[in-house]
Amino acid sequence: MKIGVVASADQSSLGQNLPAMVDGDGSAAHAYVTSEALNEGPDAARNLADAVHYLSILHGQHPGVVELAALKTALPDARGWLDQAEQGFARERLFLSQLTVAAGPLPSTPGHDKSEAAALSQRHAIETLARSERTGCALGAAMALILDWQAIRPVLISAAARLDVEAPLSALPEQAETLALADTIGADQMVNRAMTFGAEQILAQHRGLWNLLEAREAARDMW
């Protein structure tokens, strides 16, 4: 029987499991993220504007996942990483805000009310996850966000190029730092499982967002 990433969480380190989770279940694995329709096609400008607005719904608010995780995480080994992640994501949030303003109004799309309600529900789920009292859950969510942002950021860069917005250099923790911390904190199997759960849920919400954006793009094409 094939053993999946989650099932093998107790058999290998979290630092080994996280990259496989992010690669297999995160934004990089969603076809829409690198599609021509989103990045290069004749309607890419409106599709990128849509993506910017909806990413802002999920991650443009303060406090966000990283800040909430910092409040919920009392593990001393995680403090330096969380401080860097907070500062780095604050820069990303400002970048996202600038893109949202430059993009202007959301593209007219059939079923917009339902789309917005779905995105707000996702944001609520993410915030609930980041406020979890289960030790390691919020930290795992923050780590997955930072790792998955490496696949999301090129979309923002594409939008910036079209909107004439200067893209800042990333100040987020390097992947190696994140995975080293995951190995350290995840040595405790109860914390490991909680971090794995938090990471899984963030990636699931990101997949849901890309599904929503792809459906909105298709609805505009049919309108």
Q: How high is the pLDDT of residue 178? A: 97
88-119 pLDDT per residue, tens: 999 999 999 999 999 999 999 999 999 999 99
pLDDT value at 9 more than 90: no
The beta-carbon contacts of 121-127 under 8 Å, at least 24 apart in sequence, are 122/57, 122/58, 122/205, 122/208, 122/209, 123/57, 123/58, 123/61, 125/201, 125/205, 126/58, 126/65, 126/201, 126/202, 126/205, 127/65, 127/68
Evaluate if residue 81 carries a pLDDT over 80. Answer: yes
For the chain, what percent of residues have pLDDT higher than 90?
Answer: 91
pLDDT at 222: 83
At residue 7, the pLDDT reads: 39
Whether pLDDT at 217 is above 50: yes
The pLDDT, as a whole number, for residue 1 is 30
Position 5 pLDDT exceeds 90: no
pLDDT score for 214: 97
Percent of residues, the chain, with pLDDT higher than 70: 95
- Judged against a pLDDT cut of 90, whether residue 8 lies above it is answered with no
pLDDT greater than 60 at residue 202: yes
Cβ contact 205:58 at 8 Å: yes
Q: Where residue 10 falls among pLDDT bands split at 50, 70, 90?
A: very low
Taking residues 156-168, report their average pLDDT: 96
Identify the pLDDT of residue 11. Answer: 52
- pLDDT confidence bin for 13, thresholds 50/70/90: confident
Query: What is the pLDDT at residue 221?
Result: 84
Question: Mean pLDDT in the chain?
Answer: 93
